[in-house]
Amino acid sequence: MAAISRAQLAKELEPGLNALFGMEYDRYENETTEIYDTESSDRAFEEEVLIIGFGNAPVKNEGDSVNYDDASEGYTARYTHQTIALAFALTEEAVEDNLYDRLGSRYTKALARSMAHTKQVKGAATLNNAFSSSYTGGDGVALVSTAHPLGGNAGTLSNRPSTYTDLNETSLEQAMIDIAAFTDDRGMIVALQGMKLIVPPNSQFIADRLLETPLRPATADNDINAIRNMGMLPNGYVVNHFLTDTDAWYVKTDCPDGFKHFERAPLTTALEGDFDTGNMRYKARERYSFGYSNYRCVYASHGYDVSHSIITKKGVFGLPFFMCYPSFFK
**What is the domain partition of the chain in residue ranges?**
6-49+74-307
Task: Work out the average pLDDT over 326-330.
Answer: 43
By C-alpha distance, which of 260, 297, 283 is closest to 80? Answer: 260
Give the CA distances from residue 264 to residues 42, 47, 82, 127, 282, in Å, rounded to whole numbers and listed in that order. Answer: 6, 14, 9, 22, 21
More confident residue, 304 or 293: 293
Task: Work out the average pLDDT over 160-169.
Answer: 95
pLDDT 10s digits, 199-258: 999 999 999 999 998 888 777 777 888 999 999 999 999 999 999 999 999 999 999 999
Give the CA distances from residue 152 to residues 131, 212, 296, in Å, rounded to whole numbers and listed in that order. Answer: 25, 42, 17
CATH number corresponding to 6-49+74-307:
3.90.1690
Of the chain, the percentage scoring pLDDT greater than 70 comes to 85
Q: Is the dihedral of CA 196, 198, 201, 203 positive or negative?
A: negative
Nearest-angstrom CA–CA distance, 8 and 280: 12
More confident residue, 187 or 30: 30
Nearest-angstrom CA–CA distance, 195 and 197: 7
pLDDT 10s digits, 248-286: 999 999 999 999 999 999 999 998 887 788 788 889 999
pLDDT over 50 (residue 30): yes
Supply the DSSP string of 76-129, one letter for each residue: EEEEE-EEEEEEEEE-HHHHHTT-IIIIIHHHHHHHHHHHHHHHHHHHHHHHHT
CB 130 within 8 A of CB 298: yes
The pLDDT of residue 16 is 76
pLDDT over 60 (residue 4): no
Question: CA angle, corner 66, sides to 60 and 70, nearest 5?
Answer: 120
The pLDDT of residue 328 is 40
For residue 286, the cross-strand partners are 84
CB 18 within 8 A of CB 41: no
Nearest-angstrom CA–CA distance, 320 and 309: 10
pLDDT 10s digits, 54-101: 888 889 888 888 888 877 788 999 999 999 999 988 887 777 676 666
Q: Which residues contact 69 (CB under 8 A, 6 or more apart)?
A: 54, 55
At 152, is the pLDDT very low, low, confident or very high (cuts 50, 70, 90)?
A: low
Q: Which residues contact 242 (CB under 8 A, 6 or more apart)?
A: 31, 120, 121, 123, 124, 128
